[in-house]
Structure 1
Amino acid sequence: MELELKDYFRIVMKRIKLILWLVVVAAIITAIFSYWFMKPVYESSTKLIVNNSQDMTRALDINSVNLDIRLVDTYKQIIKTAAITDKVAEQNPQLGLTGEQINSMISVSSVSNTQVLTISARNSDYPTTVAVVNEVAKVFVEEIPNIMTVNNVSILNEAKQVENPSPVAPNPIMNIALSIIVALLLGIGLALLLEYLDDTIKDEQDVLQYVDLPVLMSIPSVTEEDLKIGKQSAAKVRTEVGRNVTVSK
């Protein structure tokens, strides 16, 4: 059986209470976890510049610049190696972090066709993120001459600690919005599934659609209010009949 758009709308409206219940519960649970249980995550970053020319008064050599740009991708990989992160952990025992932990905290990025590298760190402890990115940048600048036999990297700017940092995660509003969308889709899917599994005949339209037989009689549903009205009407009829009998006598 092919369903039309109005049929889908009817199914959704039929289960609208279930769908709304799922949406409300999902939003409440997500809000509780986002605001009270999820730790805030902070991010700090520092920038490095790859510049092979040590004499800044000289005109830029386009070949040298192109070489530096190509080296950026190589340096992005080197920064994430144990040669750098293990040394950072060794030189900074006060951080209480291993090389692997530092590696998992940091990320390295660059803008295409530029000589600038950005080292970022994320952690629930804000001062730790500042210290980690600055130390990784420092160690990398110190070690790159030994690794690549060139000294062409310098720190463009260090990460600085601010008084009231804003966390980059979690984003409660975004989390709640996503949970509402997911719950809404699940609710609609569940409504369609329940309708598919329900094979009972509910009205004359179902008889015509599924059995293909003519409807001889339809019995409407009766509510308690209808029963009260019926009893009142019956009592009124009995009263009128009694009056007529009395008058006849």
Structure 2
Amino acid sequence: MSMELDLKHYLAIIRKRIWIVIAVIVLGTSAAGVISYMYLQPIYQAYTKLIVNSANDKPGMLQLDLNSINTNISLINTYKEIIRTPAIMDQVVQQHPEYDVTTDELMRNISFSSVNGTQVVTLAYPSTNYKAAAKIVNSISEVFQAQIPKIMKVDNVYLLHMANENKIPAPIKPNKKLNITLSFMISMLLGIGLVLLLDYFDDTIKSEVDVERYLGLPTLVQVPSIRQGDLLNNRKPAPIPKKAGEASRAAN
């Protein structure tokens, strides 16, 4: 019962100052929308796909066995580390000075992923310019494929898919809808918190309910509020009643 009363009390507090909650939500959501649509640059991501095969397993040939597949899968983690080294990225920078990127930038931004149990790996590169990202990731893939035989003494990396420079996909971020939704929820919580905080610091007693809650005593007598106009009317002198004789003479 006490929890129910407390819940009703908090709901009444929020309802009384609901305009504060609405104002905070409108301001927060509007700010998130303006920032997401007008100030945050879209980030695109271009990707390529490669497959790791055994040296004598050319694509289209049926010479794979379980041992070779497991060997190729185990090599993927090694290749993941190799591609993030200057041995690969220095070659990209030297061969393509028009990209105007450094080795550190390439190593920091390139991502290498694979699905567990498969020989297919994905290289991805983000940029505010999709065509630039596509050119860079294609170049990294080509250099990687060319350098692996020199580094590992085995030619087992093949390109399956190159990034299409002319097909611009949707940006990966910012996620505008998600930003606005999160902003709405956070603003609502902040607005409710602000209302409850204002009520916490407001120690004035406004009703008999507050008296009962603070003192723990029931209300026995309630004095109604008196308007100023009622007080002015009460100040006027009351008419003096006439005596009986005066009333009869007045009647004659």
TM-score range, shorter chain: 0.7 to 0.9
Alignment of 1:175-194 (within 5 A): 175-194=179-198
| Structure 1 residues 220 and 125, CA gap change in structure 2 (3 angstroms) | farther
Mean Cα deviation higher: 180-189 or 145-154: 145-154
What TM-score do the two structures reach when normalised by structure 2? 0.83
1:27 aligns with 2:6: no
What stretches of structure 1 move > 4 A for 4+ residues in a row? Answer: 219-222
Find 1:155's aligned residue among 152, 159, 173: 159
1:70 aligns with 2:88: no
| Structure 1 residues 78 and 218, CA gap change in structure 2 (3 angstroms) | farther
Mean Cα deviation higher: 185-194 or 65-74: 185-194
Find the residue that maps to 2:143 and give its secondary structure.
Answer: helix
Find the residue that maps to 2:206 and give its secondary structure.
Answer: coil
Partner of 1:171: 175
Find the residue that maps to 1:139 and give its secondary structure.
Answer: helix
Q: CA deviation at 1:106?
A: 1.8
1:10 aligns with 2:12: yes
What TM-score do the two structures reach when normalised by structure 1? 0.84
Partner of 1:82: 86
CA distance in 1, matches of 2:155, 2:78: 14
Gaps of 5+ in 2: none
Count of residue pairs brought into register by the alignment: 237
CA distance in 2, matches of 1:60, 1:20: 64
Contact residue 47 and residue 116 of structure 1 kept, 8 A: yes
Rg bigger for which structure?
A: 2
Identity %: 40
CA RMSD of superposed structures (Å): 2.7
Gaps of 5+ in 1: none
Q: CA deviation at 1:220?
A: 4.5
Contact residue 40 and residue 170 of structure 1 kept, 8 A: yes
Q: CA deviation at 1:206?
A: 1.4
Counterpart amino acid of 1:203?
A: S
